[in-house]
Chains A and B, each alone.
Chain A
């Protein structure tokens, strides 16, 4: 009975070590426990091997994507160049139209490929997003400045007031700036001309929250969970330019910084995108 108890507690300890990844075989002899130890080691090695295979596969997918992006770059810029040369020729009206179509689509393709590469790198942790403590108002000012031109083209006002006291949170100004730009651009794209997009900052104990509020077309309730999916676009937005990666990338970035994005929307009345940046998490 005592023997059984020691055996069982040895087994329990072995498994604890196996979970912690520190397991080593104690002794090699003819005892049953030694046999079990050897088998445990074999089992652990096998699972390690499987894990390594999966890792390897992921690596290969990643290098394939980076190869594709790299190899398409030259032909793509050649197409752009030749299209520009073509456009400078004496062309008839219809030829001009067709050339414009080619250059539009080339641009789209270029954007798509670079977004794909970016998302793949973010997903695989190749790009390290370095979140540092900073003033959220600086981040928002940066993003608003970047978006002002596109907004002005549609006569849309970006309303944002800097608070007097700084609101600190963890973010990477370059990446989180891009995330915010994507969200604001999206709001601009789906808002009517002459409308106002309100951007505000709120502070919580653990998070800082940035709201981007538009009175655009809004999102159907059943579509809300889908807006952050890669390549997803609402059925009725096919006439708008875009490929459906902006919000996806935004979410990837904010998650990498230890925050999250939430959206609330009423169809036909506009949407509020809320970006929550963590104040304490160190990733």
Chain B
């Protein structure tokens, strides 16, 4: 069953739709899959990710997450749906600087008024090698460690899907492999569905499936 589905998804910019950033993409991502989306800059892959995550409204078409139509929802409903169902990992780690590692990880769960499943959260923290950094502040961590916290935060909320936009864009190649390896291993361990957008072929190779985007269309899928 597809966790994520897009139906003829389009995003055009300009008065006469002269820029076709995403131009009719049909895509299905299954439960537990690790999919990479590759393409050169300007190919429309970031726009696609924003549409998948409900961060931007499409010109036409629909995105379904667990059979729910994202863009049939009003903005307020979409915001809440996003918080409960989609985990994001961005190039900039977006940690709250005044909260420690553990507090950062628990924040999205608590924001939604839920009691965290501490057994699960502890397992995630161990898996990402953050057990000793639990009480550290973000500015005491290296870039790779900060991104690992961001990944732990995304997984701990048990979202339907994690969307990662160039998650290693700010890291050196050695740390990148570490971070991506942990994303892959923890995805497998916790049955998490993950979509990673990247221009780095080495990172794309780690996925179960690679989708190539060119000029807003899928040019190749394996």
- Interface code A191-225, partner B: CB below 8 Å = 1, 0 otherwise? 00000000000001111010000000000011011
A-B contact pairs, 21 of them (CB 8 A): A16-B114, A204-B174, A204-B181, A205-B175, A206-B178, A206-B181, A207-B178, A222-B222, A225-B208, A225-B209, A225-B222, A264-B201, A264-B202, A276-B177, A278-B181, A279-B129, A280-B126, A281-B126, A281-B127, A281-B189, A282-B126
B144 close to A (CB within 8 Å) = yes
Asked if A205 and B205 sit within 8 Å, CB to CB, the answer is no
Q: How far is the CA of A255 from the CA of B209 in the complex (A)?
A: 17
Q: How far is the CA of A275 from the CA of B201 in the complex (A)?
A: 17
Instruction: Give the chain B neighbours of A207 by CB distance below 8 A.
Output: 177-178, 181
Residue from A209, A224, A278, A281 having most chain B Cβ neighbours under 10 A: A281
Give me the interface of A with B, judged by CB distance under 8 Å. Answer: 16, 19-20, 204-207, 209, 221-222, 224-225, 255, 258-260, 262-264, 276, 278-283
Q: How far is the CA of A18 from the CA of B201 in the complex (A)?
A: 43
- Interface code B151-195, partner A: CB below 8 Å = 1, 0 otherwise? 000000000000000000000001101100110110011000000
B104 close to A (CB within 8 Å) = no
Instruction: Give the chain A neighbours of B220 by CB distance below 8 A.
Output: 222
Instruction: Give the chain B neighbours of A225 by CB distance below 8 A.
Output: 208-210, 222
B3 close to A (CB within 8 Å) = no
Q: Evaluate whether A276 and B127 lie within 8 angstroms (CB atoms) in the complex, with A205-B144, A225-B222 already known.
A: no
A281 to chain B, nearest CB (A): 6
Asked if A262 and B144 sit within 8 Å, CB to CB, the answer is no
Apart from A204-B178, A258-B189, 9 more pairs, CB < 8 Å: A205-B175, A206-B181, A221-B222, A224-B205, A225-B208, A255-B188, A263-B205, A264-B202, A279-B129
Interface SS of chain A: helix, strand, loop or mixed?
Answer: mixed
Instruction: Give the chain A neighbours of B219 by CB distance below 8 A.
Output: none
Q: Evaluate whether A206 and B182 lie within 8 angstroms (CB atoms) in the complex, with A263-B205, A264-B205, A280-B129 already known.
A: yes
B206 close to A (CB within 8 Å) = yes
Q: How far is the CA of A224 from the CA of B221 in the complex (A)?
A: 12
Q: How far is the CA of A259 from the CA of B178 in the complex (A)?
A: 11
Complex: chain B residue closest to A16, CB-CB: B115
Asked if A258 and B117 sit within 8 Å, CB to CB, the answer is no
Q: How far is the CA of A221 from the CA of B221 in the complex (A)?
A: 11
Asked if B117 and A278 sit within 8 Å, CB to CB, the answer is no
A125 to chain B, nearest CB (A): 13
Q: Evaluate whether A278 and B206 lie within 8 angstroms (CB atoms) in the complex, with A205-B178, A206-B129, A222-B222 already known.
A: no
Within 8 A of A (CB), among B98-113: none
Instruction: Give the chain B neighbours of A276 by CB distance below 8 A.
Output: 177, 181
Q: How far is the CA of A222 from the CA of B221 in the complex (A)?
A: 8
Asked if B185 and A278 sit within 8 Å, CB to CB, the answer is yes
Q: Evaluate whether A281 and B185 lie within 8 angstroms (CB atoms) in the complex, with A224-B222, A264-B205 already known.
A: yes
Q: Evaluate whether A262 and B185 lie within 8 angstroms (CB atoms) in the complex, with A20-B117, A205-B175 already known.
A: no
Asked if A204 and B177 sit within 8 Å, CB to CB, the answer is yes
B181 to chain A, nearest CB (A): 5
Instruction: Give the chain B neighbours of A282 by CB distance below 8 A.
Output: 126
Instruction: Give the chain B neighbours of A16 by CB distance below 8 A.
Output: 114-115
A11 to chain B, nearest CB (A): 13
B49 to chain A, nearest CB (A): 21
Complex: chain B residue closest to A220, CB-CB: B222
Instruction: Give the chain A neighbours of B115 by CB distance below 8 A.
Output: 16
A66 to chain B, nearest CB (A): 26
Q: How far is the CA of A8 from the CA of B46 in the complex (A)?
A: 40
Instruction: Give the chain B neighbours of A206 by CB distance below 8 A.
Output: 129, 178, 181-182
A282 to chain B, nearest CB (A): 7
Complex: chain A residue closest to B203, CB-CB: A262
A14 to chain B, nearest CB (A): 13
Instruction: Give the chain B neighbours of A224 by CB distance below 8 A.
Output: 205, 222
Q: How far is the CA of A279 from the CA of B131 in the complex (A)?
A: 14
